[in-house]
Structure 1
Amino acid sequence: MKKTFFIMLIAFSILLAACTKKDSSTEDSTTTNQNDNKENITLEEESTQEMKNDEEDIKETPLQENTTVETPTDDVLEEEAIEFTVSISDTIPSEYLTMRKAEYGTIEEISYKTYDYFGDGSEITKNAYVYLPYNYDESKQYNVLYLMHGIGGTEREWGMYNDSSQVKIMMDNLIYNGEINPFIIVTPNGRSSAEFANAGSDYNSFYLFGKELRNDLIPYIDSNYATYAEYDENGYDLTAARDHRAMAGLSMGGMQTINIGICESLDIISYFGAFSAAPTSYPASEIATKLKEFSDYDIRYFYNICGTEDSIAIASASSAVDSLDSLTEKITEDKNFTWQKVSGGHAFDVWYLGFYNFARIAFQDQINE
């Protein structure tokens, strides 16, 4: 009897051990499956998130408000590339079009001596307007933008002659909000002739403005305002401060920015903005050819804008920039070049937008230098 009981006890122990092992194996398998399922869920979530990110990237367009383009930071290019963050907008925020009641800049009218380059070369006196940022300080140094008008306008076309100027209002707000470093703006008359005051005078005088810009206007500004140039009345090197000058303009002024600014004056100016560049602007192939004459000078930035319904300028503006980056090493899209097309005609809604964007582009890369 004892023997039978002992045999039954051993059999029961063996059975109990087998059941315990089975339960443990089942538990381990369940835990493993749970971990596998958890890992699969995590990977699926990451994959879904990546798909969402890809979809968001596809939805972005170059004209999306506050789109940011950054200079590549590849180690190979790090020594040569300049860190340059550019924000391109297709609208001007309403707060930037609201006149400030405090901490705003001033506008003053100037008169300077120049010559009738289109005529007999006699000495003449011309007027221009100068915007000085809030708290302008003669002991500091300021960048300068030369802002040009169109074929039917004068130095007053941009409206920069009183406090209601849209250019002044935008500048005051951009500076107040800390989006840009303060800089000076000069709005001259782009006709280099004795008939400069006559908006209907021979338009060919526009093409000689480069002589006036180099010989007379820039030296006047450098001698009377706190710029980066080391002015000397006996002569000085204008190229030394080229990275602290910009040129931009609407329509005929856009043509001057391209034909005169980039193609004649790259040694003394390095930032350029063409807004609805006029039909006589050089095409990309000619710009690229003329740039070969300035092998020692770079283009810090070249910004362009035009309305898609602009029957006057869309063809010429496009011709000036299409494929330009493939024709010259001085231009690289998304690095120092923007071609922005927006809905609009040959009008100030496009030109003010162009100014707003260019004001935030010009000299921006110097902040990190």
Structure 2
Amino acid sequence: MHGLMEGSTNLSPFQRPTSPNDSLRSVLLNADKKLEFKIYAPMAEEVSVTGDFPNGFPGIALKKNYLGVWSGQTENEVTPDIYTYDFTVNKIKTLDPKNTLVKESLNGFSNLVEIEGKENDFQTRKDVPHGRVEKVWYTSKTLDGAQRRLHVYLPPKYDRLKKKENLPVLYLLHGGGDNDASWTTAGRANVILDNLYAEGKLAPMIVVMPSGHTGKEGFFMGAGPQQDPFCGDLLNEIIPFIENTYPVSNKRTDRAIAGLSMGGVQTLNTALWNPELFGYVIPMSTGYFSPNIKEIKENYADVMENEEINRFELFQIYMGGEADIAYQNNLNMMAMFDDFGIKYNYTNSEGGHTFRAWRRNLHDFAPLLFKKK
């Protein structure tokens, strides 16, 4: 007998009651061009959202309606871009269950939202030839046999490139809260490079995105490679591994290093102490702390006075405007470089200490790399 018994519902065993969450759009650009956030949390007592959208810190307190949906919007209009955001429900960081677009970072995941528009065109996935991103594991003897992961971007039509044995390499480093996946999630590095290749603006290159955190003690924003275990891992393990695994050049002029924030200091610590290894050096949103500048002047003047530093093909420093938390550190560092006669280029733009700035930095400097004079 298949009839309904008294007190039963019309739901089959495979159905569940409908809820406002079924059709909920958790983040969207509304008619006022403000970014609106929603999350279904009927039992919650407090919900907020933070992110790198304008005025995204300390965040937006959301309000609950009678259906249990919490909502709120930015105070100002939001320009087309890719933004990171995090919900906090009852003081617990909560991944948006309605959005599968995420950024992988050091301690978990954050959500991403992309707002279409001309300002976002350079980092929009298009119908162009695409490179591929490989997740690669290696053993680091320098880090006591640790199994380490890095990401490698191979250019479009990599398998058909001629003279692949001469490909140059960009080592692209992440910041303190990120990991080796961050440049290809929040950073959109592969998409940005794909589009530049399609426009004929790039020389073919391999991009290596390693993990800057090692699990060993070290002051990752200190002066000199001896303070940061990652620098030893990069020099002793990663670079030889890449040169033994991929068909790349080992010439100085075919090797670039760039990094943001913590990765910017790691870029400086690696390249300034070993200038003969790199032709292109690009620190972003970074700078030595005042005690470290004092340490450099007192203990490493010979390093800063090395003539090889001024033989870089490009030494380009980027800053994300006065809102960048590293802004003053960077000014102090450049003043030190001036005292030592170190030549560099400087670009101060906007975006603060976020991937909104760093994606544009990559788009700006990548076409400058490995151009034959």
Counterpart AA for 1:104 = H
Q: 1:341 aligns with which of 344, 348, 352?
A: 348
Please state how far the C-alpha of 1:297 moved relative to its aligned partner.
7.4
Give the match for residue 271 of structure 1. 280
1:125 and 2:173 aligned: no
Using the alignment, how far apart are the partners of 2:276 and 2:316 within structure 1? 18
| Cα offset, 1:311, TM superposition | 5.2
Paired AA for residue 253 in structure 1: G
What's 2:234 paired with?
213
Q: Which residue does 2:29 correspond to in 1?
A: none
In 2: Cα distance, 1:153 partner to 1:103 partner: 28
Distance 1:115 1:341 in 2: 39
Contact 1:114–1:126 (8 Å) recurs in 2: yes
Letter in 2 for 1:175: Y
Structure 1 residue 340 displacement after superposition: 1.0
Alignment of 1:220-369 (within 5 A): 220-229=241-250, 241-261=251-271, 263-280=272-289, 283=293, 286=297, 289-293=302-306, 295=308, 298-310=311-323, 312-322=325-335, 324-325=337-338, 327-328=340-341, 331=343, 337-364=344-371, 366=372, 368=373
Q: What pairs up with 1:1-369 in 2 under 5 angstroms?
A: 94-115=120-141, 117=143, 122-137=144-159, 139-140=163-164, 141-159=166-184, 166-193=188-215, 203=220, 207-229=228-250, 241-261=251-271, 263-280=272-289, 283=293, 286=297, 289-293=302-306, 295=308, 298-310=311-323, 312-322=325-335, 324-325=337-338, 327-328=340-341, 331=343, 337-364=344-371, 366=372, 368=373
Structure number with the higher strand fraction is: 2
Give deviations 1:178-198, integer Å, cap 9, x for gaps. Answer: 112121111101123469xxx
Partner of 1:4: none
Q: Is the 8 A contact 2:172 2:207 kept in 1?
A: yes
Task: Please give the per-residue CA displacement for 1:226-258, whole angstroms capped at 9, x wherever unaligned.
Answer: 1113xxxxxxxxxxx111111111100111111
Query: Relative contact order (alpha carbons < 8 A, sep ≥ 6): 1 or 2 greater?
Result: 1
**Amino acid aligned to 2:282:** G
Aligned pair in 2 of structure 1 residues 257, 111: CA closer, same or farther (>3 Å)? same
In the alignment, structure 1 segments of 5+ residues that lack a partner are 1-91, 196-200, 230-240, 332-336
Answer with 1 or 2: which has the greater Rg. 1
Amino acid at match of 1:342: S
Does structure 2 retain, via aligned residues, the 8 Å contact 1:107–1:131?
A: yes
| Cα offset, 1:113, TM superposition | 1.4
The number of residue pairs the alignment matches comes to 245
- Separation in 1, partners of 2:187, 2:352: 21
Partners of 1:345 and 1:105 in 2: CA distance: 29
Query: Using a 3 Å threshold, how does the CA distance of structure 1 residues 311 and 104 change in structure 2: closer, same or farther?
Result: closer
Letter in 1 for 2:184: G
Task: Compute the RMSD of aligned alpha carbons.
Answer: 2.9
Question: Is the contact between residue 278 and residue 312 of structure 1 (CA under 8 Å) also seen in structure 2?
Answer: no
**CA pair 338-203 structure 1, distance change in 2 beyond 3 A:** closer
SS of the residue aligned with 2:323? coil
Unaligned runs of 5+ in 2: 1-117
Letter matched to residue 207 of structure 1: D
